[in-house]
Homo-oligomer: A and B are copies of this chain.
Amino acid sequence: MVRSDPRIALACCTLLDGTLAVLATRRPLAATDGGVALPRTDAPGRKPLDASAERLASELLGESPPWMTQVGAFSEASALEVLYVAVVPSGTSAPAGHDWIPVSQVRATTRVTRAVAALRERLDREPIAFHLLPPRFTLSDLQQVYALLLERKLHKASFRRTLMAAHVVEPTDEWRSEGRGRPAQLFRYAARRRRGIPHRAVRFEFRD
């Protein structure tokens, strides 16, 4: 009946070489659970969990991640663990003692799988993809992020039409030449406040 404080674990995600990667604590001895070691902290019971998670992320990265949310609670070993997921822009370097591990290498880990699923589920309601990219990005970059997280191919013209109609990006006057091919215009995330958010059609997409 007497237990230690609950722990908070953070699955901090970014883009690395065109794939999703998660920040893992480097361990001197070989990992014994077959998964990655997510950064953790003990959560003081009285403080809001979100605040503790924020502090953990800030101490790791030096600043608050641009997007973060709670995934859920798990009973882990003998204590309770509350998992958070955050995203940081591609190019963010791993802090000392940590490494970016491609999630494809840790798919067996329940926590990472659930963290990535939480990203995918919120992709259409939260600007997650944008915060996985630097402030300036090309529309091809953005499309790749959506394709990566949704795990499906996307139609280029359709993707751009929908993006423009939603007024969530605005063009800059910068262009980027990526070696071969026509240079791409850089855009920034700028969700223009819309008067009425369009109604989604009712969907019945049960697997069961």
Contact = CB atoms under 8 A, between A and B. Distances in A.
Interface in A62-119: 70, 72-75, 78-80, 82
A180 interface: no
Contacts of A2: 2-4
A142 to B, nearest CB: 10
A3 B152 contact: no
A90 B40 CA distance: 43
B206 A45 contact: no
Interface in A116-136: 121, 124-127
Given A146-B202, A201-B162, A207-B197, A45 B127 contact: no
Q: Per DSSP, are chain A's interface residues mostly helix, strand or loop, or mixed?
A: loop
Given A3-B5, A3-B6, A73-B80, 20 more contacts: A1-B42, A3-B3, A46-B78, A49-B74, A70-B73, A73-B73, A73-B82, A80-B82, A124-B205, A125-B205, A126-B208, A127-B206, A127-B208, A150-B202, A158-B202, A159-B202, A162-B202, A163-B204, A168-B204, A191-B206
